[in-house]
Structure 1
């Protein structure tokens, strides 16, 4: 994919990984619509600020009308309530699914016809190593990310005949506001953005951004015993 000829829509691009993704795309010559709930919070010279709340169908539909020349969609917007599936507030669990699962699905349903009309292109869903593994205490996030992974796999097949390639990025913790309270090794969002856009440019379906993602992917073959040895 020649990124200098692409028109990208990046959700959640006012900070963190989304902002770095938009910056990387701009540096490679792409036209970028920078989506955010509050477009005034977007500080990206050269990008087009786009009002976008992926959990609001009317906002998504309006964004698809404005960005009618899109050929690349990056579903980056996320949430992290820290909710447990067993004891967390049901509203918090719903936030996770409304964002990662239904929000992603809503974006793809709105933008896939746009991308097809423009001759095809790519969609990148920002997933997580936690779509493959959970630590239990924050199970709502992991479950929603697992659903997003399933959506990625299913729509990859459905959209291939329409010349739309659907990719997924798996990554561990990044040094962003969302993980400020996490005491663990973290990747630089700038580095992850470069890896993600390299993967899109290379036409990859699955992009593993760090060592932990590669290790957990290999562990999937070993089943529960390999992923959760403490269970005995």
Structure 2
């Protein structure tokens, strides 16, 4: 998938990784970027950028976006939410349902709705923003990790289902990124710009998966160890 002259939809494009995607795509020569956000007024105007009202949890918004953005060749499923807490917390069922609605079901909805659009435009590509939390769940972000595990499985299934229409499907995994989502977490973070550059490099190289930082690479490598990285350290 080449970025130059591509027409791209980015969900959650008003800040963080989504905003970084929109800027880098235009810098690499994308012809147009549809910047999806619940409130289009939060999108900073820029040449080549078209603000698009898109609440990914609203089926009507997603359908309207597909009708308007019928020239899209690349969809970036970036919109996501997080909330700290473990599964034994009093509100864990409510929190888990809310996070799955955005992080899994909305990704499914957007992918399913835009698959025919990508097919009509030659196949194109689908890039799903995942996380190292797809593989590791330490309990501090229990529902978020579970939703990202489900999104990883969704991404893997879509890769098979969309192969016949020649749609490239890329899963982007990363650790903590310096965005509003991770504000308050006192941990090492990578800039969204660096994550996005690595993601788009991988996309253009035809990759199926991008491990965008060192911690993600380490965790993936540990999956085949005698004691995999998703298990807690032994006492």
TM-score range, shorter chain: over 0.9
- Helix, strand or coil at the partner of 1:230: coil
| Distance in 2, Cα, partners of 1:150 & 1:77 | 17
Partner of residue 137 from structure 1, selected from 140, 157, 167 = 140
1:6 matched residue in structure 2: 6
Structure 2 alignment gaps of length 5 or more? none
2:57 matched residue in structure 1: 55
Contact between 2:136 and 2:229, CA under 8 Å: does it hold in 1?
A: no
1:25 matched residue in structure 2: 25
Q: 1:219 to 1:61 in 2, by over 3 A?
A: same
The answer to whether the aligner puts 1:174 opposite 2:177 as a matched pair is: yes
Q: 1:144 to 1:45 in 2, by over 3 A?
A: same
1:78 matched residue in structure 2: 80
Partner of residue 111 from structure 1, selected from 110, 114, 118 = 114
State the TM-score, normalized to the length of structure 2: 0.95
| Distance in 1, Cα, partners of 2:227 & 2:76 | 31
Contact between 2:11 and 2:79, CA under 8 Å: does it hold in 1?
A: yes
Partner of residue 91 from structure 1, selected from 85, 89, 94 = 94
The farther-off stretch of 87-96 and 204-213 is: 87-96
1:68 matched residue in structure 2: 70
State the TM-score, normalized to the length of structure 1: 0.96
| Cα displacement (A) at 1:44 | 4.2
| Distance in 1, Cα, partners of 2:226 & 2:58 | 37
Structure 1 alignment gaps of length 5 or more? none
Contact between 2:14 and 2:43, CA under 8 Å: does it hold in 1?
A: yes
| Distance in 2, Cα, partners of 1:158 & 1:131 | 21
RMSD: 1.3
Contact between 1:225 and 1:231, CA under 8 Å: does it hold in 2?
A: no
| Distance in 2, Cα, partners of 1:171 & 1:114 | 28
Partner of residue 190 from structure 1, selected from 175, 190, 193 = 193
As a proportion of its length, which structure holds more helix? 1
| Cα displacement (A) at 1:229 | 3.9
| Distance in 1, Cα, partners of 2:38 & 2:133 | 25
Contact between 1:83 and 1:93, CA under 8 Å: does it hold in 2?
A: no
Tell me the matched-pair count: 232
Contact between 1:124 and 1:168, CA under 8 Å: does it hold in 2?
A: yes
The answer to whether the aligner puts 1:147 opposite 2:150 as a matched pair is: yes
| Distance in 1, Cα, partners of 2:226 & 2:120 | 42
- Helix, strand or coil at the partner of 2:172: strand
